[in-house]
Amino acid sequence: MDELKFDEAICAKCETYDCIMKCQYMDLDLEQAKQEKWKLIRGEDSSILTDCVTCYACEEYCPYHNHPFYHIVEMQERLGVHPVPKPIEKSQVTAMGPKGRIDYEEVRQPVINMCYFPMMKGSIRGKLFKDVSIILGSDIFCNLMFLHFARNSTIKERLPKIIDNIMTYYLKDNNIKEFICYHDECYGTYTSWAPAFGIDVPFKPIHLFEYLYNKLVELKSEIKPLNLKAAYQRPCSSRLCPETDHFVDDILSLIGVERLKREYDRENALCCGGVFEAQQRFELAEINQEKNIADMKAFGATHCVFNCPFCFFTLAERVSKNGMIPIMISDLCHQALGE
Amino acid sequence: MEKEYADILHRCFRCGWCKLPTNYQDFNCPAYLKYRFESFSSGGRMWLIRAWLNGEIETSERLSEILFSCTTCKNCVEACALPKIKDYLVDIFIAARGDMVEQGIIPPPVRDYLKAINVSGNPYKMPQADRGNWADGLNIPYYNSHEYLFYVGDVGSYDEIGMKMARSVATLLKDAGVSFGILAGDETSDGNDVKALGEAGLFTYLAEQNINKFKELGVKKIITLDPHGFNSMKNEYPKLDGNFEVYHYTQVLSSLIKDAPPLREVHAKVTYHDPCYLGRWNNEYWASRIVLGSVPGLELIEMDRNMQNALCCGGGGGNFFTDILGPGEDSSSRVRVKEAAATGAEILAVACPLCYKMFDDAIKAEGLEEKIHVKDISEIVNEARKK
Amino acid sequence: MDNTFGRLAEIVGREYVSNAKEELFIYSRDQGVQDPHAPDYVVLPNTAEEVKEIILLANEKKIPVVPMGGGLVLSGLTIPLKGGIVLDMKRMNRILEVNETSRYAVVEAGTSQGMLKAYLEKNYPKLKHSLPDAPPVATIAGNIAIHGSGHLSQSEGGFHSEMVTGLEVVLPTGEILLLGSCSTVPYWFSRAPLPDLVGLFLGWNGTTGVITKVGLKLFPKPALHDVLMFMTEDVDTVPDVMYRVTATSMAEDVTFMITPKPAMLEGFQETIISIVANSEEEMELKKKIIRKSLSSYLETKEAGFLPIPPNMKAPILETPQKDLSRFADVSKGGGFEYVGGIMPVEKLPEACRAGMSIAQENNIPYSLGGRVIGRLHSVMFFFAYPFNRADEADMDRARQALEDTNEAVLKMGGIPWKAEASGQRLILKQMDPATYEFMQRIKKTLDPSGIMNPGNWEVN
């Protein structure tokens, strides 16, 4: 257990090295890509270790699901690379750690796991979330954000206890076997990271968008199409569960919103840049954000739809200063239902 | 005093945030504004109450004056920097007043007010039967299964200005087709200011009288003239099993106005004073503004101290009747009307009969009659309805 | 029978004098740990003339006089150590003049920080004054009189006492004087080029007279305001961080903080860099320049800029900040003791270590931090120890921590700021005897009856 299911034999047979060649931030030719990849595999110093901006995209790019990004993180940690300054890293490890404040609670399905986003509780309202039970807190926080900090070890250390907390305090005695993940990083933790590291997940995570879509279908007669053009800001975490991206199309289509076919969406999505700022890559963050916003505007977006609260915090002000309305996808759905 | 209050008295830092509004314009605590001694600020009161309960200072007339000078406007609750104690400040002052009432050390005007309510059922020592006189000639029915009970209260029943306001509101509601009746002589004092003065026992008695009457008549919804009554009926009556849907008249007007027949233009500059018992006590800042905004031609000018920063008229906490703060230059009503006049407004719009009277007197005291006069929201709308 | 009360009532009006037990109780103490000393009278003057009459009466009766502004100094400087009259100046709160072109304001001494801020925002939105991190009722005069500092101290010229362009004072012998350019011309633009008499009333704890008016520098107010937070793990690097940032001239305010709570901040230092700008471009440029100045730290990842989510930024950008007052409730106790030490920046690491050690020895929570004054010409370092006012033992620990801190500050080469009487005595003990003698001579000359805030700046 805890050992990453990474098979170097797969990389040996790979001809395209998509993980590096498709990377939006590394500019290497195929030969250089091969060399740097194999340095990494051999545990040697490689430019990948410091040039990787931790956007998670290569997890999606690899056609063999050989976990290139998780492997980079393993190597970064092993070789003592710190993408984020050490005091900030340590401070966040303390800040986001479990506080031991969890207690048994009676919950009923549907249960929504809001992870460690108490500030977003206000979005759980109305017809879409009627009778939903909310669970959240540091003691059930997935900790997957530490991928950005080169700390697989922190996730490995905490996740088994987190899973146990969820089972013990919320699911077992309430006879519940599944819950909705509010943030798709949570969903990615249980459907991608945990299996990659051989950690058992005894419950079924449901993606928020799957839940939203099904709920909207139920309430179809109450939807008033919004007739909007929106740019979708695809977050890093979506790269861990690309199979859920179609729900964005499905939801937006149901509520009368056009997902603009802009350059920086889907496989070519740009990181919001929030993590780059933590990594002190301010110029890169600035360039990324400018490109992203310009792209949204060029395609005539009136709204920018967000999936991830962290993307929202990072980009919302810039989006609105550029004449577009930043909005979380669930809030857009509320609007379509007249709420 | 309840233990939960006594246990937090020491947590007041006496940092003074309570003296100012959240935008720091000017002193916003009516008692501190008038007296200017630290002892009359909310922080000073907290420290003195603690010292009193600890036996460091004795019960005295001065302490009584300090405790009863608070108008319960809740500026301190709004502005206090300490999140764990701010919500309790006014409750603590009222609880301390309760202790004073029990000991019988209360300023004579407070004693007289409570006695009048106890004996006559109202602070004016007028006959109960006269409560309905304001409605003479308006043909308003006694409550009988109407949608709403229109509850007028002490000031609306007996004070000249209050009665004028009651008539104006009732006329407007009637012409708007609102189904309502009144209780006239069967109204009991709502008790809000009795409670604010620390007489919890008398308040309970008054409230129960009203609650029993309302239940007996099958009242479900109430419109109040007075924000003080609104506050009691909305927030305190449920604790005594008096559960009704309670509205202030401006809230009802704001929901009716969008469907009202077109109003005539009223070309006037108006500034609106947020009454404490609607605003800071009940977070209602918009109903009156929606109504005023619906009157064509009316220019609404906000005072610097508006909404949660409004300077209390000085009539709250029983001071309307006890006048402990007095009429001096630093009385909050006089400071407030000067502030209103400084906006250039000709009309100071109010939503409370106590504010109306306080400001009417203050305008005279300041010699501002040529510059500004008081009107309540319903009077302004009625003006816009006249052919 | 003593007719002092009646005479005071004649001067200010009956309603503005009190010797009631309640007022004496409140005015005998402040929010810190100093022992209470009751006044005999509390008086609220409304004009300089009234102050003069009160002073003349006090001279006649040999009654001490203690001027008081907001009363928020926390070290008991407005507690009447020898009884007498507390002069609560807050009725004198009129803003008399704002000269927009020459950027100064003239205010009565009791004008509060908050009201001046609100007045300028409304009437002169292009101007602001330097705000201390005190509650908004703190007064302009009280703050300059204790050499306070605030959010413009780094960029706009040092302590708030250095931002004074003139004073009106009432001497302990009753004369009303104008000091600075206003003594000669009808403008309050400067203390120069006249002999500087203003300094005789700054830092003297009211022992040389009563300030009744203040001329105060105002500064341009750019439209945009943002903040960067730089996190370090090694306190010895903080002076270097400050040196580099201040060398860029891009920051408006540079403060720093060390606190064990919340837990995520324990063991780290945050240097908070406040930036103002007139446009987004200017803001971005300033941020770039500041970041560049610290690039060597960023390259080694030994330190870095902490991303601040929007909901956390708003309280940091607030002026004045409520957080300082909230710190009083850390021990759920409504109090904190606050020792400031003015010191050279190279002493900062030693001060941090001393503060943490003192807190540990006295078993008391702490918060440490400070502000750069001028272009790093000194640092106002604060040691804040919260205490529970309902727990006498806790207050004792805070008292001890305060005394230990005063000693430690002096030993390391700093000087306790706005020190209470016992702290003042420590300072005077260490002071050059000739300087001390000179101070006493000035006090004696100005206050021959010894009525002004006695017990302050005295060795005995």
CA A333 – CA A208 distance, rounded (Å)? 12
- Is C26–B48 a contact, with Cβ atoms under 8 angstroms apart? yes
Evaluate the CA torsion angle B170, B173, B176, B180 in order and state its sign.
negative
Instruction: Read off the tokens for A3.
Output: 């050992």
Domain count, chain B: 3
Nearest to A307 by CA among A287, A328, A291: A328
Asked whether residue B342 is assigned to any structural domain, the reply reads yes
- Is B20–C136 a contact, with Cβ atoms under 8 angstroms apart? yes
pLDDT recorded at residue C221: 97
One-letter identity of residue C305? F
Judge contact between B294 and B263, C-beta under 8 A.
yes
> Looking at B49, B81, B106, which one is the last position of a domain?
B106
**Range in B217-231, C60-74, C322-336 the model is least confident about:** C322-336
CATH number corresponding to C324-419: 3.30.70.260
- Write phi, then psi, for C71 (nearest 5 degrees): 70, 30
Give A286's contacts in chain C (Cβ within 8 Å): 284
Q: Is A274 on the interface with C (CB under 8 A)?
A: yes
Rounded to a whole number of angstroms, the distance between the first and last alpha carbons of chain C is 32
> Looking at B106, B129, B148, which one is the last position of a domain?
B106
Cα distances (Å, whole numbers) of residue C420 to A113, C147, C423, C428: 54, 14, 5, 12
Cα distances (Å, whole numbers) of residue C274 to B264, C155, C226, C250, C450: 53, 10, 6, 9, 44
For A119, which residue in chain C has the nearest alpha carbon?
C311
> Do A87-211 and A221-336 have matching folds?
yes
- Is B13–C42 a contact, with Cβ atoms under 8 angstroms apart? no
pLDDT recorded at residue C1: 59
- Is A85–C302 a contact, with Cβ atoms under 8 angstroms apart? yes
- Residue C152 Cα, gap to closest chain A Cα (Å): 27
DSSP assignment string, A156-198? HHHHHHHHHHHIIIIITTTT--EEEESSHHHHHIIIIIHHHTT
Instruction: Read off the tokens for B357.
Output: 């009277």
The verdict on B353 and B269 lying in the same domain is: yes
What predicted TM-score, i.e. pTM, was given to this entire model? 0.92
- Is C325–B56 a contact, with Cβ atoms under 8 angstroms apart? no
Checking C254-259 for CB contacts under 8 A at 24+ apart, the result is: C254/C154, C254/C371, C254/C372, C255/C369, C255/C370, C255/C371, C255/C372, C256/C369, C256/C370, C256/C371, C257/C367, C257/C368, C257/C369, C258/C352, C258/C355, C258/C356, C258/C367, C258/C368, C258/C369, C259/C366, C259/C367, C259/C368, C259/C369
Q: At what angle do helices C238-248 and C348-361 cross, to 10 degrees?
A: 140
Judge contact between B189 and B86, C-beta under 8 A.
no
- Is C88–B48 a contact, with Cβ atoms under 8 angstroms apart? no
> Stretch C137-161: mean pLDDT, rounded?
96
pLDDT recorded at residue C311: 75
pLDDT recorded at residue B75: 98
Q: Do chains C and A touch (3 or more CB pairs under 8 A)?
A: yes
CA B30 – CA B326 distance, rounded (Å)? 11
The verdict on B88 and B196 lying in the same domain is: no
Give C26's contacts in chain B (Cβ within 8 Å): 37-39, 44, 47-48
Question: Distance of alpha carbon B376 from its chain centroid, rounded?
Answer: 14
- Residue C419 Cα, gap to closest chain A Cα (Å): 35
- Residue C13 Cα, gap to closest chain B Cα (Å): 12
The residues facing B350 across adjacent strands are: B376
Q: Is B325 on the interface with C (CB under 8 A)?
A: no
- Is C287–A88 a contact, with Cβ atoms under 8 angstroms apart? no
- State pLDDT tens for residues A249-262: 999 999 999 999 99
Give C306's contacts in chain A (Cβ within 8 Å): 88, 91
> Do C224-321 and C324-419 have matching folds?
yes
DSSP state of A104: -
Instruction: Read off the tokens for C253.
Output: 């305010």
Judge contact between B162 and B353, C-beta under 8 A.
yes
Indicate whether this complex's ipTM tops 0.90. Answer: yes
What does R_g of chain A's alpha carbons equal in angstroms?
A: 20
The verdict on B221 and B248 lying in the same domain is: yes
Question: Distance of alpha carbon A135 from its chain centroid, rounded?
Answer: 19
pLDDT bin (cut points 50, 70, 90) of residue A263 is very high
The verdict on B238 and B143 lying in the same domain is: yes
Q: H helices of C102-257, where?
A: 113-123, 140-145, 238-248
The verdict on B204 and B323 lying in the same domain is: no
Asked whether residue B27 is assigned to any structural domain, the reply reads yes
CATH of C224-321, one of 3.40.47.10, 3.40.190.10, 3.30.70.380, 3.40.50.300: 3.30.70.380
pLDDT recorded at residue A197: 95
Rounded to a whole number of angstroms, the distance between the first and last alpha carbons of chain A is 47
The verdict on B272 and B307 lying in the same domain is: yes
pLDDT recorded at residue B233: 98
- Residue B339 Cα, gap to closest chain C Cα (Å): 14
Task: Examine the pLDDT at A18 and tell me if it is beyond 80.
Answer: yes
> Beta A111-113 vs A178-181: how paired, if at all?
parallel
Nearest to A87 by CA among A220, A278, A310, A217: A278
CB count in 10 Å sphere of residue A26: 18
- State pLDDT tens for residues A273-320: 999 999 999 999 999 999 999 999 999 999 999 999 999 999 999 999
Question: Chain C 211-240, CB below 8 Å of chain A: which residues?
Answer: 231-233
The CATH architecture assigned to A221-336 reads 3-Layer(aba) Sandwich (3.40)
- Is A85–C262 a contact, with Cβ atoms under 8 angstroms apart? no
> Looking at B210, B226, B255, which one is the last position of a domain?
B255
The verdict on B169 and B297 lying in the same domain is: no
- State pLDDT tens for residues C168-178: 999 999 999 99
Judge contact between B196 and B72, C-beta under 8 A.
yes
pLDDT bin (cut points 50, 70, 90) of residue A1 is low
> Beta A257-259 vs A228-233: how paired, if at all?
parallel
- Is A88–C306 a contact, with Cβ atoms under 8 angstroms apart? yes
Judge contact between C11 and C68, C-beta under 8 A.
no
Interface probe, candidates C92, C137, C325, C394, chain B, greatest B C-beta count within 10 A: C137
- Domain locations along chain C: 4-90, 92-220, 224-321, 324-419
pLDDT recorded at residue A164: 96
Give B48's contacts in chain C (Cβ within 8 Å): 22, 25-26
One-letter identity of residue C174? G
The verdict on B147 and B72 lying in the same domain is: no
Cα distances (Å, whole numbers) of residue C107 to A250, C121, C140, C215: 65, 16, 8, 7
Q: Give the CA-trace dihedral at C245, C247, C249, C251, to 10 degrees.
A: 20
**Where do the DSSP E strands lie in chain B?**
148-151, 180-181, 221-224, 245-248, 268-272, 298-300, 347-350, 373-376
pLDDT recorded at residue B260: 85
CA-based max dimension of chain B = 66
pLDDT recorded at residue B198: 96
Interface probe, candidates A89, A91, A276, A311, chain C, greatest C C-beta count within 10 A: A91
Question: Chain C 235-274, CB below 8 Å of chain A: which residues?
Answer: 262-268
Q: Is B83 on the interface with C (CB under 8 A)?
A: yes
| CB-closest option in B15, B37, B38 to C328 | B15
Interface probe, candidates C231, C232, C279, C289, chain A, greatest A C-beta count within 10 A: C231
- State pLDDT tens for residues A189-246: 999 999 999 999 999 999 999 999 999 999 999 999 999 999 999 999 999 999 999 9
pLDDT recorded at residue A70: 97
Structural domain range at position B322: 264-385
The verdict on B304 and B325 lying in the same domain is: yes
CA neighbours closer than 13 Å in the CB half-sphere of residue B334: 13
pLDDT bin (cut points 50, 70, 90) of residue C191 is very high
- Residue C308 Cα, gap to closest chain A Cα (Å): 9
User: C92-220 has which fold?
Assistant: 3.30.465
Q: How many CB pairs under 8 A join A and C?
A: 60
pLDDT recorded at residue A122: 87
> Which residue's entry shows tokens 């619906």?
B294
The CATH architecture assigned to C4-90 reads 2-Layer Sandwich (3.30)
- Residue C348 Cα, gap to closest chain B Cα (Å): 28
C311: left (phi > 0), else alpha (psi -120 to 50), else beta?
alpha
Q: Is C10 on the interface with A (CB under 8 A)?
A: no
Q: Is C309 on the interface with A (CB under 8 A)?
A: yes
pLDDT recorded at residue B300: 97
CA neighbours closer than 13 Å in the CB half-sphere of residue C310: 12
The verdict on B161 and B278 lying in the same domain is: no
For C26, which residue in chain B has the nearest alpha carbon?
B39
pLDDT recorded at residue B262: 87
Give the 3-state secondary structure of residue C106.
strand
Give mean pLDDT in consecutive 10-residue pieces for chain B, a chain of 387 residues.
Answer: 88 95 96 97 97 94 96 97 94 96 92 95 95 96 97 97 97 95 96 96 97 97 98 98 98 91 93 98 97 96 97 96 92 97 98 98 97 97 85
CA C443 – CA B328 distance, rounded (Å)? 40
- Domain locations along chain A: 8-78, 87-211, 221-336
One-letter identity of residue A79? L
pLDDT bin (cut points 50, 70, 90) of residue C41 is very high
The verdict on B268 and B250 lying in the same domain is: no
CATH number corresponding to A87-211: 3.40.50
